[in-house]
Structure 1
Amino acid sequence: MCGTMKAIVKKESAYGAVLTEMPIPEINDHEVLIQVKATSICGTDVHIYNWDDWAMGRVKAPYIFGHEFTGEVVKVGKQVRRAKIGDFVSAETHIVCNQCSMCLTGQQHLCCGTKILGVDIDGCFAEYVKVPEQNVWHNPDGMSIELASIQEPLGNAVHTVLHTPVSGKSVAIFGCGPIGLMAIAVAKASGAVQVFAVDKNEYRLELAQKMGADHIVDIEQEDPVKMIKQLTRNEGADVICEMSGHPVAINQALESCSNGGKVNILSLPERPVSIDITNQIVFRGLTVQGITGRKMFETWRQVSELLRTKTIDVQPVVTHMLPFGDFEKGFELMRNGTCGKVVLMMPSYQRGKK
């Protein structure tokens, strides 16, 4: 397919991005070309948009960013067998080598040669995106466009929460951004007896309540460590999910965990964080687990089934659906924290609605 497309491009090593014309990607034999219908803004995209320390050390401009999307297959490579033109799909965004020891032992999400769509290679903030057939995930026909576009971050929430069994346990989620909000629903659906939602953003704490959190902890009004311990017989939460990336919150999360408890960290701090390993971790027997991506494709199946069976309802997390051209408004909402999930609707979706 020849021609150009509209795309949001990180044009320079500086704050912001531009909407411009880019060539439509050419696919290889094992790849598919997808016409994007909807794409959502992730916290990682905000890091890149802001051009913070993490982005400076990882991203190479100019390129198209964005990695959460859904769309329709419009072209397939010669070796593609499973995907067909017209398929309604989303995609796993970690592109792996299939040859390292992690890949060969069923742990592709830990691949040593991972390239992330929209971080290391051109992404989906565009009218078209190409991905390997292996990364394609087929969506059920009845799934809404906006929910289909947020399955990738929902997978992060599922992977973070379910890395540790939570049934019958207390769970504290630090950081009520969109993934943290979805993690609340996952924890409740998985049998957590009480879920703490910890943040300072009033808007998102209200959303946390809608998502089913048992206890709302506004860190500007109360000490989360003290409150969590008071409500857990002075023991602390059994499982901590750290989603904020803030140095103070990370330390509070460790202090809020029960002795022998589990701390699962998904967040990406902008810079190194100082913690007291001896007293916060070693002497208390904590297990600290870094969470990256989703298990391929175990987590995707879990996500699909949770949504298909309506075991969880993450629709309240989608607070804004904007035209693709209004991406700057979407990023401003994300930067200010006055939103849940922001989904950008593509021109192709709008045409299809007519």
Structure 2
Amino acid sequence: MNGKMKAVVKNSRGYGAELQVVDIPQIKEDEVLIRVKATSICGTDVHIYTWDEWSESRVNPPYTFGHEFSGEVVEIGDKVTNVKPGDKVSAETHIVCGTCPQCLTGKYHICKNTKIIGVDTDGCFAEYVALPAVNLWKNPEDMPFDVASVQEPMGNAVHTVLSGEVAGKTVAIIGCGPIGIMAAGVAKAAGASQVIALDLNDYRLELARQMGATSTINSGKEDPLAAVQLLTDGHGVDVVCEMSGHPIAMNQGFKMVTNGGRVSILSLPVRPVEIDITNDVVFKGVTVQGITGRKMYETWEQVSRLLKSGQVDVKPMITHHFQLEDFAQGFDLMIQGKCGKVVLHP
């Protein structure tokens, strides 16, 4: 397809972005062109927008960013057989090599040569996006486009929560950004006996409660360690899902986990974090997991089924909708923490 489209472009190495008219991408023989119907703002997009240390070292403007979306296939390459024009799709945002030791042993989500859509390549804050067909996930016809657009970040929540046993266990979710909020819903659906959400933001703690958190703790207003001890009869929590990336909160996570417990870390601290390995990991016999991306495509199956069954309802945390042109309002809300998930509609 030839022509022009509107896109949100990270135009320079500094704060912000701008709406531009750019060429509609041309697809290769193994790629698909998708008309974007809904695209949601991720914490990673906020890092790029505000131009923090991580994005400064990783991102090379100018380019179109954004990586969470849903849409409709409008054109397919000559070698594409898994989707057809008219199909409703979302996408796994990690483009993997298929040849490294990790890929060859089925661990695609930790491919050594991963490229991320909207970080290392042009993304989906646009009217159209071109992607490898192998990265596409077909959505049910009746799934709303806004719900379909948040499956990728929900996959992060599912991967983090379900990377160990959850049923009957106490689970702490530290950091209630949109993924943390979804993690509360996933933990509850998976049979956690308690889901304790911790954050400094009362607005987002309330969203976590709506999604399934059984208790919420504002760590700025009360001692989170004392509160967790009270909720767990002095034992600490079985599972910590670290979503905040804040050194103090991360430290508290290691202190509140019980002996033999699990700490699964999805967050991306911008600097090295000091942890008391001796007392909070070794002597406690704690399992620590780094969580990246989603298992391809096991996690997508789990996400799709949790949504279809109604066991997890993400609608409470989709709080704002804007036209693509009004992207700056969405980013402002994300930066201020006065929202759940913000969805843009090209």
Q: Distance in 2 between matches of 1:118 and 1:244?
A: 22
* Cα-to-partner distance string for 1:161-211 (whole Å, 9 max, x where unaligned): 000110010000000111000000100010100010000101111111111
Aligned runs of 1:275-286 on 2, under 5 Å? Answer: 275-286=275-286
Q: Distance in 1 between matches of 2:127 and 2:299?
A: 27
Residue 29 (structure 1) shift? 0.7
Residue 234 (structure 1) shift? 1.3
Q: Is the 8 A contact 1:264 1:291 kept in 2?
A: yes
Q: Distance in 1 between matches of 2:90 and 2:219?
A: 36
* Cα-to-partner distance string for 1:307-341 (whole Å, 9 max, x where unaligned): 11111111100000111111000000000000000
2:117 corresponds to which residue? Answer: 117
TM-score by length of 1: 0.96
Q: Which runs of 5+ in 1 are unaligned?
A: 347-354
* Cα-to-partner distance string for 1:6-52 (whole Å, 9 max, x where unaligned): 11111111011111011111111111011101100000100111101
1:242 corresponds to which residue? Answer: 242
1:207 corresponds to which residue? Answer: 207
Q: Distance in 2 between matches of 1:90 and 1:42?
A: 15
Residue 240 (structure 1) shift? 0.3
The runs of 4+ residues in structure 1 deviating greater than 6 Å are: none
AA in 2 matched with 1:195 = V
Residue 235 (structure 1) shift? 1.5
Residue 3 (structure 1) shift? 1.6
* More off after superposition, 268-277 vs 77-86: 268-277
3-state DSSP of counterpart to 2:285:
coil
* More off after superposition, 204-213 vs 298-307: 204-213
Q: Is the 8 A contact 1:53 1:271 kept in 2?
A: no
Q: Distance in 2 between matches of 1:61 and 1:243?
A: 27
Residue 233 (structure 1) shift? 2.2
1:339 corresponds to which residue? Answer: 339
Q: Distance in 2 between matches of 1:4 and 1:184?
A: 41
AA in 1 matched with 2:282 = V
Residue 63 (structure 1) shift? 1.1
1:63 corresponds to which residue? Answer: 63
TM-score by length of 2: 0.98
* More off after superposition, 152-161 vs 57-66: 57-66
Query: For the aligned residues, what is the CA RMSD?
Result: 0.8
* Equivalences, count: 346
Q: Distance in 1 between matches of 2:126 and 2:227?
A: 45
Residue 280 (structure 1) shift? 1.9
Aligned runs of 1:1-354 on 2, under 5 Å? Answer: 1-346=1-346
Q: Is the 8 A contact 1:158 1:303 kept in 2?
A: yes
AA in 2 matched with 1:136 = L
